Amino acid sequence: MIRDEDRHALREELEALRKDGARRQDLSLHACKRLFFDFGIRPSMATVRDLTQTGSASDIPKDIELFWQRIRAASKVRVGSGAIPPALEERAGEFLGALYEEAQTFARHTLEAERKEIESGRQDAEQALRDAQARSLAADEMLQRSEARIEAAWTRVRELENQLAAASAHGASHQDSLQATVRRLETENESLQKRIDTEQTTNAGLRDRIDRLHEDMRKSTEHYAQQIKDALAEAERRVKPMLVELDSLRTMSSTWQSAQRDASKKEFEFIQQLATAKARADRLDAVLRERSDEVEVLTRQVATLRAQQGVDGSVAGVLCALAQSGRLGDEDLARLGTSVDAQVSLPAHCPNCEDGEPELAEVDGRFELSCPECEYTSGLGASRLEVVARFVTRKKDADNPVR
């Protein structure tokens, strides 16, 4: 049983080897050597794992088996030949001495048992002499077998000595190859260290670039966030009037529903009044629609008059005729702008298909005249006069190409 202070010292020794770069297998083999040779303890998976603090349940048994293979290989060296270190020679001698003592103890115990059997046979010899003689012969045979086992044990010891000598020679060659491997690994380690330095320099540059990209991304995020905030504020500004109008409509709807419920309760009592009120409401609704149409017409007229201020009607008519005949160029149309748009009338029929009724669209202050039937279009223009002129003259140019 290993003491606590020895266990602690052995752990510190293994930790020092680990810091020097020793691998798991080297730590396990060192722990096995210390346990077996210095403390006389047979290495086990639990003990080795407790000391090295590394390795799995499948790796440590392999390391222990490798240790025993090396011990068996080293045991082939003859003790006292001078080919092994003195410490190992002393351990091997102790091992052979213990093996010899164990063989003698086994033979002594066997002989003692046989003597007891002979003594028991002598006591029974008075009654069965023949049985005693047979047992005596059996005891002699067992003694001969014991001597044969002792001789076999000595033969095995000599074989182990020869194997230990051969293992010593093999260990010397293995040591040379191990040193060559260590030198090669040191060279590879130096090259790898240079590569690591290069990679670290590259990684530092990449980290700087990543930091710059993060800074650009942060600025872009703040910019987009501000744009989104402005867009949300603009959307709220546009939605608030709609919400106010929606609340007004909801209030009107609630008031109408309340009145409808009251009217439903008094339906049977005020049926005549309701019919009269309904007829009057219809008349008022018709009058309201008429007034609305009149207001809309007047509004258009007012807008037309406001747009026509400063431009004579005959002049506007001449300009429209010139534009539709293709006598005004793009520069002329650009100079005129929207000054005569109020007096520009849209063509009644599409010059391409002659069935569709052209429609005028305005997008972001620009106009476009197109036919919904054949999708014939004038393209975007800065004024109504320009798109009407393009709509008419483009078809004429297509029908009368210049030769």
Tens digits of pLDDT across the chain (403 residues): 678 888 888 888 888 988 888 888 888 888 888 888 888 788 888 888 888 888 888 888 888 888 888 877 765 544 444 455 666 666 766 676 677 567 667 767 877 787 787 777 677 767 877 775 777 788 778 888 878 888 887 888 888 888 887 877 777 777 777 788 888 888 888 888 888 888 888 888 888 888 888 888 888 788 878 888 888 888 778 878 877 877 888 888 788 888 778 867 776 776 777 777 788 878 887 877 887 777 776 666 555 555 554 556 677 777 777 777 777 777 777 777 777 777 777 887 888 887 788 888 887 778 888 888 888 888 888 888 788 888 887 655 556 554 3
Spatial separation of the C-alpha atoms in residues 84 and 168, rounded to whole Å: 6
> Is residue 199 included in any domain, yes or no?
no
> Is residue 140 included in any domain, yes or no?
yes
Spatial separation of the C-alpha atoms in residues 130 and 134, rounded to whole Å: 6
Task: Report the pLDDT value the prediction gives residue 336, as an integer from 0 to 100.
Answer: 76
> Is residue 175 included in any domain, yes or no?
yes
CB 359, CB 372: distance < 8 Å: yes
Task: Report the pLDDT value the prediction gives residue 298, as an integer from 0 to 100.
Answer: 64
Taking alpha carbons only, the member of 73, 21, 14 closest to residue 65 is: 73
Q: What is the sign, positive or negative, of the torsion defined by CA atoms of 268, 269, 275, 277?
A: negative
Task: Report the pLDDT value the prediction gives residue 218, as an integer from 0 to 100.
Answer: 83
> Is residue 222 included in any domain, yes or no?
no
> Is residue 390 included in any domain, yes or no?
yes
Report how many domains make up the chain.
2
DSSP code of residue 10: H
Task: Report the pLDDT value the prediction gives residue 189, as an integer from 0 to 100.
Answer: 82
Spatial separation of the C-alpha atoms in residues 28 and 7, rounded to whole Å: 14
The gap between the terminal CA atoms of the chain, to the nearest Å, is 117
Task: Report the pLDDT value the prediction gives residue 81, as an integer from 0 to 100.
Answer: 47
Owning domain of residue 116: 4-189
Structure tokens at 120: 């028991």
> Is residue 263 included in any domain, yes or no?
no
Task: Report the pLDDT value the prediction gives residue 180, as an integer from 0 to 100.
Answer: 82
> Is residue 179 included in any domain, yes or no?
yes
- Please identify, among 189, 224, 244, the residue that sits at the C-terminal boundary of a domain: 189
- Please identify, among 167, 189, 211, the residue that sits at the C-terminal boundary of a domain: 189
Instruction: State the burial class of residue 201 (Cβ atoms within 10 Å of its Cβ: 0-12, 13-18, 19+).
Output: exposed
Task: Report the pLDDT value the prediction gives residue 78, as an integer from 0 to 100.
Answer: 47
Structure tokens at 294: 């009149």
- Please identify, among 141, 162, 189, the residue that sits at the C-terminal boundary of a domain: 189
> Is residue 202 included in any domain, yes or no?
no
Q: Any residues with CB less than 8 A from the CB of 346 and at least 6 apart, and which? A: 358, 360, 369, 388
Q: What is the sign, positive or negative, of the torsion defined by CA atoms of 217, 223, 226, 228?
A: negative
CA 329 to chain centre: 63
Q: What b/e sequence results for 155-191 when a residue is b if at least 16 CB atoms lie within 10 Å of its CB, and e otherwise? A: eeeeebbebbbebbeebeeeeeeeeeeeeeeeeeeee
CB 22, CB 31: distance < 8 Å: no
Which pTM was predicted?
A: 0.26
